[in-house]
Amino acid sequence: MEGDNTKKPKREDLITEAKNFFDFYKKELGDSIRKGNNVIYLDFMKLTEFSNKLSDEILSNPEETLRLIELAIEESGLVKNVRVRLFNLPKSQEIKVRNIRSKHLNELIILEGIIRQASDVRPQVVNAKFECPSCGTIISVLQIEKKFREPSRCSCGRRGGFKLLSKEMVDTQRLVIEESPESLSGGEQPKRIHVFVKEDLVEPKMEEKTTPGSRVKAIGILKEVPVPLKTGGLSTRFELAIEANNLIPLEETFEELDINEEDERQILELSEDPKVFDKLARSITPSVWGYEEIKRSLVLQLFSGVQKTHVDGQKSRGDIHILLIGDPGVAKSVTLNFMAAISPKGRYVVGKSTSGAGLTATVVRDEYLRGWSLEAGAMVLANKGLVCIDELEKMDPTDRSAMHEAMEQQTVTISKANVQATLRSETSVLAAANPKFGRFDPYQSIAQQIDLPPTLINRFDVIFTLRDIPNREKDDRIATHVLHEHQKEGEEMLIPRDLFRKYIAYAKQRVIPKLTDEAVAEIKKFYIDLRNKPVASESAMRPIPISARQLQALVRLSEASAKLRLSAKVTKEDAQKAIDIMKYYLMQVGYDYESKTIDIDRISTGIPTSQRSKIFTVRDTLAHLESRLGKLIPIEEIEKELEDKLTKDEISDAIGKLQSSGDIFRPKRGYVQRM
């Protein structure tokens, strides 16, 4: 009896303590309850400040203490059937999956990791009520194990044959959580653990955040799970699993970020600043000097344009894709890493070690459900976020082609085994590549040095080339900046990171800009003027400066610029900003010095129109001479025929090109013949 007496006051004490605590924090409680759903979020640190006794008990004997706290809330008449969810726990409770041992059983622990698999949500019985047919007593049995338990006997002496009256069900789901790769050292394999979540943690809204691939922090009680042997008995070995008390998603898209009144005040104040664009641009990779144009377009990429669904159901994307091609050592990877970190759901992948399945999606065998299940790749996981792909040119060509659909249609369609699915990947892509020979050759067109297929290049809205050309003044400033960085351990972002993210989130949540007539006129004028520029040589083939894809890119960039000002209208100035960026990139990449025009073919295919027309001229001359001289045509004759049109070098260059494409061959020296 004495033992009982010492235990009882402890229990009563805890309930009283809990009631006092809740009286003290009525406001927080009220907030939780007002949101409905019978869940109270408990800040553990506040609890510790208020009462050491309660907080220590929660850590050492979590299950019972949490039940007592729930009891205390119910007794104070606030909410019926309440659930307490903890957050803000001390760091000491965080354990890596690999360090979990049997001494941690029944303790409260915190894990951080990536969800690898998630089962379907299914109901499970927690409590069943039985009636005894002999004496009518109602017996309730808690269902804890996997096996459904019936009462063994009744108080009247009856055994078995009880009638099931009712059973209580809750929704449960099994997650497999794997350690996050950052916490691993060397060549360790990431370890996995099962986490069981139930009740409000599997609500549809919550379930969206626990899709495979998302990062979560799981707070829960470590339990052992008996392993049944084939013979039907229990094994001496047990599996470990965590019964989750709370799941905290660590990644939020910009659409989900919470913005309070104070934040909103700061955001609106910042948007009034006429220099807001420059400030945001300078906050991007402050450790890298220069590249104002590039940083500006990266800011616009974070804001992105507006996705539209047309009347006929066709969608046009709002995400902006950017490609950086540059000499080694111009801080491409630094920029990509920074962007992946600041963007929500940002993913950073590297070319050589990335497969098509890793980028889009793959079908794997599911050991539990004995079937096939989908595992999402980087572009699907970063839906509504940003994917940074480094070393794009080193990727396998077959894997690269997996990106085409994800970039333009913004879906990933997969048909493997018996899984046919279309996944959404509304993702912006920021990619970096090196030129073919590691460094740009100043004498060749840039397109010839990019080892990427034209179809892929064409999908990028903006392409920047980063050249590393010695220049005394510039080098001096870069050196000063870099060395200063090392002295001071990095510079602050001009706009603090938190505000930066919230500013973008605010713009994405609240602002959907519409094009004004002035902006339309400005973009139209630029497009038409550029495409119909007078050409120096009146040849049949005119260079095509930009195509309709760039026109859409202009619209997206100008919409992003309006979002940045939190304006609902795309003005002429926004269009002008977009045009400046486009001009900057076309002058760098697509300028054909020979015809003194901008030429889109030079970007995507590598052969400018001026050169292509020479090849056609030589080919037509060959056909003309063949009718006169027969099959074998001396090269001298061609030169004589084209004396006033092309130089000897140009003719031999064109013949070389025709030969490599298989149009002509050289049967003997000094002669050519058509195939």
Q: What is the pLDDT of residues 247-259, one digit of tens each?
A: 888 776 666 666 7
CATH code, residues 609-674? 1.10.10.10
For residue 266, give Cα distances in angstroms to 177, 269, 573: 38, 5, 24
Say yes or no to pLDDT of 515 above 70.
Answer: yes
Mean pLDDT check: name the lowest of 73-82, 101-110, 125-134, 349-358.
Answer: 73-82
Give the largest Cα separation in the chain, rounded. Answer: 123
Provide the mean pLDDT of the chain.
78
pLDDT at 195 over 80: yes
Token pair 């450790």: residue: 287
Per residue in 198-219, pLDDT (tens digit) is 877 787 777 777 777 778 888 8
626 versus 553: the higher-pLDDT residue is 553
pLDDT band (50, 70, 90) for residue 542? very low
Query: Distance of alpha carbon 205 from its chain centroid, rounded?
Result: 19
Pairing of strands 234-249, 322-326: unpaired
Residues 6 or more apart from 403 whose CB is under 8 A from it?
Answer: 359, 360, 379, 429, 456
Alpha carbon distance 600, 587 (integer Å): 11
Report the pLDDT value the prediction gives residue 537, as an integer from 0 to 100: 47
Over residues 379-413, the pLDDT tens digits come to 887 778 888 888 888 888 888 888 888 888 888 88
Q: Which helix (H) or strand (E) holds 432?
A: strand 428-433
User: Which three-class secondary structure state does DSSP give residue 466?
Assistant: strand
Q: What is the mean pLDDT of residues 25-49?
A: 73
Residues of the chain above pLDDT 70, percent: 86
Distance CA 287, CA 472 (A): 20
* pLDDT reading at 167 higher than 60: yes
Count of CB atoms within 10 A of residue 603's CB? 27
- Strands 428-433 vs 664-665: parallel, antiparallel or unpaired: unpaired
**In whole angstroms, what is the distance from residue 526 CA to residue 529 CA?**
5
pLDDT surpasses 70 at 647:
yes
Q: What 3-state DSSP class applies to 664?
A: strand
User: Which tens digit of pLDDT belongs to each residue from 51-71?
Assistant: 778 788 888 888 888 888 888
Q: Of residues 388 and 640, which shows the higher confidence score?
A: 388
Task: Give the pLDDT score at 598.
Answer: 60
Whole-number Å distance between alpha carbons of 398 and 62: 52
CATH annotation of 2-88: 3.30.1640.10
pLDDT exceeding 90 applies to what percent of the chain? 0
CATH class of the domain defined by 261-587: alpha beta
pLDDT digits 0-9 by tens, 84-126: 888 888 888 888 888 888 888 888 888 888 887 777 778 888 7
Q: Which pLDDT score, from 0 to 100, does residue 145 have? A: 66
Ramachandran angles phi, psi of 463, nearest 5° = -125, 130
Task: Report angle CA 201, 204, 205 to the nearest 5 degrees.
Answer: 80
Residues 6 or more apart whose CB falls under 8 angstroms from that of 373 comprise 117, 363, 364, 365, 366, 419
pLDDT at position 277 over 50: yes
What pLDDT is attached to residue 146? 67
Q: What is the pLDDT of residue 279?
A: 83
Residue 567 has pLDDT above 60, yes or no: yes
For residue 178, list its beta bridge partners: 114, 192
Residue ranges per structural domain of the chain? 2-88, 93-250, 261-587, 609-674
Strand partners, 365: 372
pLDDT reported for residue 77: 65
pLDDT interval class at 36 (50, 70, 90): low
pLDDT score, position 645: 74
Backbone φ and ψ for 503, nearest 5 degrees, come out as -60, -45
Angle between helices 517-531 and 572-589 (to 10 degrees): 20
Other beta carbons less than 10 A from residue 543's beta carbon: 24
440 pLDDT above the threshold of 50: yes
Mean pLDDT over 301-315 rounds to 85
* Alpha-carbon gap, residue 131 to 379, rounded angstroms: 55
What pLDDT score does 278 carry?
84
Helices 261-272 and 497-510, interaxial angle, to 10°? 90
Q: Is the pLDDT assigned to residue 324 strictly greater than 70?
A: yes
- Position 617 pLDDT exceeds 70: yes
Strands (E), 307-358: 308-309, 315-316, 322-326, 347-350
Q: Find residue 115's DSSP bridge partners.
A: 177
| Buried-state track 554-576, b at ≥16 Cβ within 10 A, e below 16 | bbbbbbbbbbbbbbeebbebbbe
Q: Comparing C-alpha atoms, which of 401, 354, 404, 358 is closest to residue 379? A: 358
Q: Do the beta carbons of residue 664 and residue 675 sit within 8 Å?
A: yes
User: Tell me, what's the pLDDT at 596?
Assistant: 54
Torsion, Cα 481 482 483 485, to 10 degrees, reads 80
Q: Is the pLDDT of residue 593 over 60?
A: no
List, in sequence order, every residue forming a beta bridge with 326; answer none if it has no partner: 466
Pairing state between β 371-376 and 234-249:
unpaired
**Does CATH place domain 93-250 in 3.30.365.10?**
no
Using the predicted structure, report yes or no on whether residue 169 has a pLDDT greater than 50: yes
Using CA atoms, how far residue 535 sits from 90, 94, 531, 618, 630, in Å, is 71, 69, 10, 21, 36
